[in-house]
Amino acid sequence: MQMLNIVPRLMTALRAGEKRHTIRWQEQKITPGPLCYVSNEDPATWVIVDVAQVVTMPLSSVARYLGKGDEWPDAVLLAGMQEHYPAIQLDSQVEVIHHSAPRQDERALHLALLAALTVLECSLHHEKRHDLAWLDQRLHPEFKEITLSGTLLNREQIIAALMNEENAQAIISSDFQLMEVGTQHAILLYRTAQPDGSRAALRSSHWVLSAAHGWQMIFHQGSTAAAGS
């Protein structure tokens, strides 16, 4: 599913159904269809909408196009956009994404949860892997992991290993699937491999919804993928 990060201030308006468009510049291409907005401060906070249309135009034309000419004079619009895109100018070509209010149907909620947990899972593979505060927030106090070699490790052992890890090998994650178990448990299944395709593994993570910390991983297991799987 397509995903875009959004600041908490705009997430509030989006969830209330008050925000029906987004202006983007030089980011991944968005096309009509389902789109998941994920908070850039809390990946467990998300909203799913349906994109109806994407229109490209100079930034200088956006206010008039959206009927906001009086509210958004050029200087105000440019200053607001430069908070997110410091190099943007009035003649920069931007995309105006038109979308629906948040979807609430069961399929949409499932896809949004899949997208949110995928973001959380991948954060532990890349930019947050050595972030002690993030690990403390996302790993459940009773967390356990069974490694590829068949070793059972507890939370303290895993965190210590990650804090001492140097030159972590790059991995590519794919084929994410979600199994929902009630309203507070979910199991994420996926595949990993190194960029050259070696060390392929099938993985599963059990996520638990906590009132205090949002989604936390309580168990993870990786198994070497059989040939052809």
Q: Report how far residue 216's alpha carbon sits from residue 9's, in angstroms, rounded to the nearest whole number.
A: 24
- The per-residue pLDDT of the chain, averaged, comes to 91
Q: Are residues 6 and 95 in the same domain?
A: yes
Nearest CA-CA partner of 101 in 28, 9, 35: 35
The answer to whether residues 59 and 88 touch, using CB atoms and an 8 Å cutoff, is yes
Q: What pLDDT, on the 0 to 100 scale, is given for residue 167?
A: 80
Q: Return the half-sphere exposure (C-beta side, CA atoms, 13 A cut-off) of residue 150.
A: 0
Q: Are residues 85 and 148 in the same domain?
A: no
Neighbours of 44 (CB within 10 A): 19
The answer to whether residues 121 and 191 touch, using CB atoms and an 8 Å cutoff, is no
CATH number for the domain spanning 172: value is 3.10.450.50
Q: Are residues 83 and 151 in the same domain?
A: no
Strands, sheet with 46-58, edge to edge from the N-terminal-most edge strand: 2-6, 33-39, 46-58, 93-99, 21-24
**Tokens 């249309």 map to which residue?**
53
Residue 150 lies in a domain: yes
Domain that holds residue 52: 2-99
Residue 181 lies in a domain: yes
Residue 55 lies in a domain: yes
Q: What stretches in the chain show pLDDT beneath 70?
A: 44, 229
**Tokens 């958004």 map to which residue?**
72
Q: Are residues 71 and 148 in the same domain?
A: no
Residue 18 lies in a domain: yes
Nearest CA-CA partner of 30 in 94, 81, 90: 94
Q: Are residues 131 and 206 in the same domain?
A: yes
Q: Are residues 18 and 87 in the same domain?
A: yes
Q: What pLDDT, on the 0 to 100 scale, is given for residue 100?
A: 93
Q: Are residues 137 and 85 in the same domain?
A: no
Residue 200 lies in a domain: yes
The identity of residue 177, as a single letter, is: Q
CA 87, 89, 91, 96 dihedral sign is positive
End-of-domain residue from the set 99, 115, 147: 99
Q: What pLDDT, on the 0 to 100 scale, is given for residue 78?
A: 96
- The domain total for the chain is 2
| SS3 label, residue 66 | coil
Residue 191 lies in a domain: yes
CATH number for the domain spanning 76: value is 2.30.130.30
Q: Are residues 26 and 89 in the same domain?
A: yes
Q: What pLDDT, on the 0 to 100 scale, is given for residue 2?
A: 82
Residue 10 lies in a domain: yes
Q: What pLDDT, on the 0 to 100 scale, is given for residue 211?
A: 74
Instruction: List, in order, residues 6 or more apart from 115 with CB less than 8 Å away.
Output: 1, 3, 36, 38, 46, 48
Q: Are residues 25 and 92 in the same domain?
A: yes
Q: What pLDDT, on the 0 to 100 scale, is given for residue 158?
A: 96
Q: Are residues 170 and 90 in the same domain?
A: no
Residue 113 lies in a domain: no
What's the pTM? 0.60
Phi, psi of 90 (to 5 degrees): -65, -25
Q: Are residues 86 and 137 in the same domain?
A: no
Q: What pLDDT, on the 0 to 100 scale, is given for residue 44?
A: 67
